[in-house]
Each structure stands twice: as C-alpha cells, then as structure tokens.
C-alpha cells in the first residue's frame, strides 16, 4: 500500500492544481445541478423548505406587505409570462367580455360554490397599492382592487383536513407535444386567508386588462410574481399537491422554482 | 514546550488560527465561490440595477444596464453605467465565439449553471446563502469567546496610528509575522466582517418579499428593494476586490506559511517572536 502517499506539501500542491483547473475550465462542471432529479440538487433544495419554515415562524399570519402611496404609481403594471391566452375556452369568454365567467370553489369544502364576475364585484372590495416583485429581479408598484379570498373560502366552509389552495388558470403558458400546459399555482391556507390576498379584478383604477390576468387574478402580496396566478377560474382545496402538474404545486415550481415564493 | 530560539533566521511556530477560524474560513471560501457564480446567473435574468423601490420601465432610474444591441456591424455587447455606454463585446452582454455568440450579461464561464437557468441559480444561491449566514453566527460567537475579534479584528487607536507605517512596510513587501494581525490586516478584516458581510446578508434579505413583511424597516434603511439589489451587487464587487488582494497578500507573505496556518493553525512567526505568544504550548 505504498502506491500513493500524501504528505501535506504534496496535498497542498495537488489541491492548488485541482482548484485552478476547476476555475480555468469554466463552470460547466456544475451544470449537473440543473438536472431536476439530481440528488445533490435535492439536498440544496432543502434550503427552500428551511426558508419557508423560518419565514412562517417569523412572519405573523396577518402581517401585511408594505403598501405604498398613490404617488408611487409611476408606470403601468408590467405584464409578464402569458399575456394573451389562446385557449378556446378563454377566447370565448373574452369575446363575450367575460359575461359568462364563473369562479368555482371546490375540493375539500362543505359547499361547492360558483361566483359570477358581477357577484365578485358586488362583494366588499379591498384596494391596495403594493410592489410586485418578479423572480427575475424587477419590481413594479400598482394599485390592485378585488375581493378578499378568505371570506369566500369561509362561505364554502373549508374542511379541516384541507391544507392548500390550488389555483387553476385558463392560460396555456406552454404548449408541448401533448398539448397545452395550463398555468396553475398553489398556496398554503395562511397565504390564502391573508388579509391582502384578493381576487383582483381592478388594476390602477381600471378594469383588470387581459395582459395582467383578466378577469380575475389572485394577489398574494408576500410572495414573488409567479405566485400571483392570472386568469384564475377554479380554486380547489386539497391536502396534497402531488396530483397536479408535475407535483410541485405550480407551473413554475414544476420548472424548478421554489414553491413558497416568499423569497 | 521549550523556548525555541531563532536560528538560521527562522522564527518559532506559533498556534495562530483556532479551529473555528480555520473551518469558517474554508466554508466561507466555498460559499462565496458558489454565491458569486449563482448570483451572476440570477443577475443575468434581469441585467440592470436601479435606485428606489421599483424598476422604472416608463421612467429612468437605472444605474447599470448590460445587454446586446444590433448595429450595422452586427450584434454588440453594451454596458451602460450612470448613462455612459461602453462597448463590452466579448465580456459583458455578448460573449462566446463568432459562430456561437452568447447573449447573456455575464458569460457562462462565470455562472452556475453555465447556461441560462434562473431556477437552478436560485437553488444554489439560497442554499449557500444559508450556509454562509450560519457560518457567520458560528464565527461571531466563537471569535467573540476566544478573543479573535478583540485581538485581531477590531482596530484600536494604536492600530490606526500605525497604519501609515504599515502601508510603508507593505509597499516594501516587508511583513512582520507575529501572533496578532497588523493594522492594515485588522482594518481590512474589520471591513469584511463588520461591514461587507452584514451588508450583503441584509441587502439580500431586503429582496425577499416575505422578509419585507417581517422587517419593513430594511426597505427604509436601504432605500427600497431595487436600491438594496444595487447595494448587494456593489458589495459583491467589493468582496471580489477583497479576494483578489487577499490572494496577492498570501502569495507575497509566503503562501506555504499562510496556507499552513489556515489548515493546521500553526504559523511560522518572524525571527525573534517569543514562542510564548502562541495559544498552545
């Protein structure tokens, strides 16, 4: 067993050579971290679970996201992601100016409910001027008007075993060989019942435009932009996210983003 | 241990770096490597920096923009800082070969992953962000208890007075290897530990909407989410600058001795240093 004997000096020299090789050959040796099913990546992703748990411990359930003054609205709300859904269902709704739109609350509720757009607009409204933070890094301040989600969930009487809201959307965010991939998102019930979580139908004192999610978009103000699903038609209460999409709780989480989205 | 006398111009080996200093040093080195490269990946998703709460798309509050433009001579990489535009083709905005140009702000050679993948960049960044912060807690606690902060990090009046002489000594590449750090060393490590590290963590947290709800005062301290993002980037540049000087100083002061002290704790002091200055006999 005398093939390879390392003394400290040799070890240091070899480490230096190995280290500089790592730097010189660029960074593609870490590209394996991009493989969604990689074991090392799975370990690194646990940091997001830790972030969620720590933030939930630190953040009060009712603690509000910062609201800004009207003078901070200096530009239109920049639309991102899908801005013009092309599914037949949505196109038909849009052609009739959403007169036939229905929002469905279903799943683990005592009473399945449906609301027309007029019914939602007739409920007590909440307006909030908040900052929309995109995962890409930009921010935009806008005024959102809508009806709080919490009281609507109460009307449907959420069953105690429900843990998440799944927000189903009309938009085909992606088209694959198997057909349209529809956007969906989910949140825990703390975010769903948060006072600033609204079903928004108004933006900057106007009717919510199509690029921003008409007729209904969910606002979860303590999370990043991809947690604010547009074109929502159904809110489903569930105790498990695995049956939906690829099982990570949302279109973007299925594509590698953190599910919680509070960071 | 018997008193070592300096012969043949060699000083005594003294125990200079505690296990806490050594372990946290290397954990940080790994963290900062991954944080930098995944951070540049995240920056590439929106390669611009702004002042204020929001990114102006209909008004201009950008201080830095990196991108590619079409010109008569083909695509070029362009960087705009405070309204002044520079051609940075090959480095920023556009890189790679003429056949296979790459249109990212920072080239794939300095991002993790090497291709555009914001999701993976964030996974890597937040994992090492956690490790970095937890290591900071360990370092501050251990270094407060074992006296490292008091002895080596916080510059006192005498240290500040000795700065000019220390600058002169550094200019002549004359280093004194003792138990304690020199005045410039103290000042630079103080800046890193008490200014740059806390700043980069706090500005990072200020970009989190959840933390904004928990600690809205951070938005006021840093002047808005986008300003915090800009400061985060500037502190990154400062840490890269520190790293470069750090490596130069290690090479100038004797890389073998410096590396040994950071691996084993034992450091060859200058001739004449009393061995009793070591922590361990």
The pLDDT value given to residue A8: 57
The pLDDT value given to residue B2: 43
Question: Which positions of chain A have pLDDT values less than 50?
Answer: 1-3, 24
| Contacts A257 to B, Cβ<8 Å | 119, 122
Q: How many CB atoms lie within 10 A of CB B75?
A: 14
Q: Coil, strand, or helix at residue B230?
A: helix
Terminal alpha carbon distance of chain B: 5
Q: How many CB atoms lie within 10 A of CB A69?
A: 8
Q: What is the pLDDT of residues B179-225, one digit of tens each?
A: 888 899 999 999 999 999 999 999 999 999 999 999 999 999 999 99
The pLDDT value given to residue A82: 95
Burial of A75 (0-12, 13-18, 19+ CB in 10 A): middle
| Contacts A222 to B, Cβ<8 Å | 209-210, 212-213
- Could you identify the residue written with the tokens 């938009």? A171
Spatial distance between the Cα atoms of A111 and A153, rounded to a whole number of angstroms: 10
As given in the structure block, the two tokens for residue B19 are 């296990």
- For helices B197-206 and B225-253, the axis angle rounded to 10 degrees is 150
The pLDDT value given to residue A9: 58
* Backbone φ and ψ of A3, nearest 5°: -60, -50
Phi-psi region at A256: left, alpha or beta (left = phi > 0; alpha = psi -120 to 50):
left
| Contacts A11 to B, Cβ<8 Å | none
Q: How confident is the model at residue B3 (pLDDT cuts 50, 70, 90)?
A: very low
Per-residue pLDDT for B269 more than 50? Answer: yes
197-236 of A, contacting B, C-beta below 8 A? 221-224
Spatial distance between the Cα atoms of B77 and B90, rounded to a whole number of angstroms: 7
- Contact indicator for B65, B27 with CB cutoff of 8 Å: no
pTM: 0.92
Judged by CB atoms closer than 8 Å, whether chains meet at A44 and B123 is answered as yes
| Contacts A43 to B, Cβ<8 Å | 127
As given in the structure block, the two tokens for residue B58 are 């209909």
The pLDDT value given to residue B99: 86
Pick the residue of B32, B61, B116, B120 with the most A CBs within 10 A to test the interface with A by mutation: B120
Beta bridge pairs of residue A8: none
Residue in B112, B226, B260 closest to A33 by CB: B112
* Backbone φ and ψ of A184, nearest 5°: -150, 160
Domain residues of chain B, as ranges?
55-105
Q: How confident is the model at residue B275 (pLDDT cuts 50, 70, 90)?
A: low
Tell whether A243 lies on the interface with B, counting CB pairs under 8 A.
no
């Amino acid at each position: 067993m005398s093939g390879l004997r390392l003394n400290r000096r040799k070890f240091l020299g070899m480490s230096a050579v190995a280290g500089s090789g790592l730097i010189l050959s660029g960074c593609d040796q870490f590209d394996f971290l991009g493989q969604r099913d990689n074991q090392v990546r799975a370990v690194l992703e646990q940091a997001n679970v830790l972030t969620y748990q720590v933030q939930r411990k630190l953040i009060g359930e009712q603690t509000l996201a910062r609201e800004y003054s009207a003078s901070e609205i200096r530009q239109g709300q920049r639309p991102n992601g899908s801005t013009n859904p092309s599914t037949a269902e949505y196109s038909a709704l849009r052609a009739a100016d959403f007169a036939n739109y229905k929002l469905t609350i279903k799943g683990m509720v005592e009473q399945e409910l449906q609301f027309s757009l007029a019914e939602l607009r007739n409920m007590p409204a909440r307006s909030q001027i908040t900052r929309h933070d995109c995962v890409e890094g930009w921010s935009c301040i806008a005024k959102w008007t809508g009806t709080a989600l919490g009281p609507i969930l109460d009307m449907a009487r959420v069953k105690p075993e429900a843990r998440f809201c799944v927000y189903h959307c009309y938009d085909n965010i992606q088209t694959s060989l198997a057909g349209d991939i529809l956007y969906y998102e989910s949140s825990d019930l703390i975010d769903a019942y948060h006072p600033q979580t609204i079903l928004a139908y108004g933006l900057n004192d106007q009717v919510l435009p199509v690029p921003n999610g008409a007729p209904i978009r969910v606002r979860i103000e303590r999370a990043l932009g991809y947690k604010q699903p547009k074109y929502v038609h159904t809110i489903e209460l569930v105790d498990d996210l695995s049956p939906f999409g690829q099982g990570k709780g949302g279109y973007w989480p299925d594509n590698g983003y953190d599910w919680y989205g509070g960071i | 241990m018997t008193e070592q006398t300096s012969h043949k111009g060699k000083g005594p080996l003294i125990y200079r770096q505690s296990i806490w200093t050594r372990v946290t040093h290397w954990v940080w080195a790994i963290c900062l490597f991954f944080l930098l490269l995944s951070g540049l990946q995240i920056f590439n998703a929106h390669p611009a920096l702004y002042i204020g709460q929001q990114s102006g798309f209909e008004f201009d509050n950008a201080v830095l923009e990196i991108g590619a433009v079409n010109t008569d001579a083909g695509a070029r990489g362009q960087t705009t800082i405070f309204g002044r535009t520079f051609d940075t083709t090959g480095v920023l905005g556009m890189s790679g070969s003429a056949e296979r140009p790459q249109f990212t702000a920072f080239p794939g050679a300095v991002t993790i992953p090497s291709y555009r993948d914001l999701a993976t960049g964030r996974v890597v960044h937040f994992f090492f962000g956690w490790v970095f912060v937890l290591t900071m807690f360990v370092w501050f606690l251990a270094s407060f208890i074992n006296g490292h902060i008091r002895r080596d990090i916080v510059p006192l009046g005498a240290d500040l007075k000795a700065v000019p002489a220390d600058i002169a000594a550094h200019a002549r590449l004359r280093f004194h290897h003792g138990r304690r750090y020199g005045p410039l060393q103290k000042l630079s490590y103080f800046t890193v530990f008490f200014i740059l590290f806390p700043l980069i963590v706090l500005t990072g947290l200020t970009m989190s909407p959840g933390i904004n709800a928990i600690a809205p005062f951070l938005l006021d301290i840093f002047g808005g989410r986008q300003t915090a993002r800009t400061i985060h980037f500037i502190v990154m540049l400062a840490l890269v600058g520190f790293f470069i000087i750090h490596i130069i100083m290690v090479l100038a002061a004797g890389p073998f001795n410096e590396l040994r002290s950071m691996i084993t704790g034992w450091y060859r002091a200058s001739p004449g240093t009393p061995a009793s200055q070591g922590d361990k006999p």
